[in-house]
Amino acid sequence: MIYVLVYFNILSNVPLLIPSHTWSIGIYTGNSPFSISPSSMVKNPVLTYKNIPNIPVKSVSDPFMIYDNMKWYMFFEIYNLNTTRGEIGLAVSEDGYKWHFDKIIISEPFHLSFPYVFKVDDSYYMVPESAASLSVRLYKADNFPTQWSWIANLIDKPYVDNCVLYFNNYWWLFSFDDTKNSLALHLFYSKDILGQWESHPKNPIVTGADKARPGGRIIKHDGMIIRYAQDGSRGYGKKIRAFQITKITTSEYDEKEILMNPVLEGSGSGWNAQGMHHIDPHHIDEHEWLACVDGRTRKLRFISNIISVRLGHNKG
C-alpha cells in the first residue's frame, strides 16, 4: 500500500497530533527459549521512546543483551526523528529487570538497527544492520560498552538483520535480502571473523515472508542450534517463529520448525498489541531464561518542530 505522510508545523510552536506505529522493549522470562512470557518482576515495557532524553524519538526496538562484569548491557535501535534514521543506543541493568538508558553509542550518516552483539575471546563485536551503506559492517568495542569503531565490511551487499554464529570451526553469517522481489535468507561462511567470506552453495537457504527474515539471536540449547525468524506473512512484525538448524556445513543446510510456534506474537492490547518481531533469550539458570523482546502498538503522538513530506511503501 502506498502512503503519503505530510507533517506541517510552519511556526514550530504548535505540536501536531499524528498516528504513529511505536515499538517498545520488554523483558520476558520462562523455563525454555520456546516458552517465555511477560515477567512478573517488571512492568512492561521497560524501555520506550519516552526514556530517551533530549531528542525526538519515534521508537526503540531490536534489543540485544550482554552480561559482563556483573551487569546487563542492552543494545537497541533508537529511531531519531531529527535525523530520520536509526542509531544504536545503550541501556544498563543490575539485575536484567530494571533498566536505565545510558547513551547513543553508534551514530552514522545512514540508518542502523538490529545491533547483533557477540564476544570473541576477550573482545566484543557488533554487526548492526547497515543496509543503507550497501554493506554488512563489523564494529569492535574499543572500550566496552560505550566506545565502538568500524573495522571491516564483511559483505558488500545491502543485507538486513544479520546474525553471526560460530560452529564447527567456522563463522556463519545469516543475512536477509529484502530488496525488491526478494525475501530470502543467504548464508556465508569464513574461517576467521575478519577473513574472506564465501557464499553458501545452497543460497538462498530460506525464502518467504513467513520464515526467512531473522528475528533475534541464534542460540545453542540442549545440543540444538535455534534460529528465530519473523513471520510477516500477515503483515510486517506480527510474530516470531523458531527453527532448529539440523545441518550446517560448507555444502549443506537444513532446518525444521519447532513445534511450539509461534514463540511470540502480539497480545491484542497494550504496548505489544499489534505485533512482536524480535527476541534475544539468555540461559541464566537451570530452568530459567531471561529475554529482551520488542512489541508494536499504534498511538496518537504529539510531534513538533517537523516539516516533512514522505512517500513510500507502508511496511508497518
What SS3 class is residue 200?
A: coil
pLDDT single digits (tens) 253-266: 999 999 999 999 99
pLDDT band at 287 (very low <50, low <70, confident <90, very high): confident
**Do 292 and 63 contact (CB within 8 A), yes or no?**
yes
pLDDT band at 18 (very low <50, low <70, confident <90, very high): low
The grid coordinates listed for 100 are 536505565
Distance separating alpha carbons of residues 308 and 315, to the nearest angstrom: 19
Cα-based distances in Å from 309 to 80, 84, 210: 16, 12, 32
Total residues found in the chain within this entry: 316
Average pLDDT over residues 229-238: 92
Cα-based distances in Å from 133 to 84, 130, 194, 235: 15, 6, 19, 26
Strand-pair category, 85-93 with 136-143? unpaired
List, as own/partner pairs, every contact residues 150-155 make where C-beta atoms lie below 8 angstroms and the sequence separation is at least 24, other chains included. 151/194, 152/194, 154/127, 154/188, 154/197, 155/188, 155/197
Distance separating alpha carbons of residues 154 and 197, to the nearest angstrom: 7
Average pLDDT over residues 162-179: 97
Tell which residue, 58, 86, 91, has the closest CA to residue 75: 91
Strand-pair category, 123-129 with 136-143? antiparallel
Distance separating alpha carbons of residues 305 and 109, to the nearest angstrom: 21
Q: Enumerate residues 6+ apart whose C-beta is below 8 A from 310.
A: 4, 5
Distance separating alpha carbons of residues 287 and 66, to the nearest angstrom: 19
For the chain, domains (ranges, CATH) are 2-313 (2.115.10.20)
pLDDT single digits (tens) 183-202: 999 999 999 999 999 999 99
Distance separating alpha carbons of residues 10 and 98, to the nearest angstrom: 40
pLDDT band at 209 (very low <50, low <70, confident <90, very high): very high
**Do 280 and 26 contact (CB within 8 A), yes or no?**
no
What SS3 class is residue 158?
A: coil
In this predicted structure, the answer to whether residue 219 has a pLDDT above a threshold of 70 is: yes
In this predicted structure, the answer to whether residue 13 has a pLDDT above a threshold of 60 is: no
Tell which residue, 86, 58, 38, has the closest CA to residue 266: 38
Q: Which residue has the cell 549443506?
A: 252
Distance separating alpha carbons of residues 281 and 32, to the nearest angstrom: 9
What share of the chain in percent tops pLDDT 90? 83
Query: Tell me, what's the pLDDT at 14?
Result: 57
pLDDT single digits (tens) 26-83: 999 999 999 999 988 899 999 999 999 999 999 999 999 999 999 999 999 999 999 9
Query: Tell me, what's the pLDDT at 311?
Result: 37
Cα-based distances in Å from 199 to 185, 219, 236, 284: 12, 22, 27, 35
In this predicted structure, the answer to whether residue 104 has a pLDDT above a threshold of 70 is: yes
Average pLDDT over residues 130-157: 98
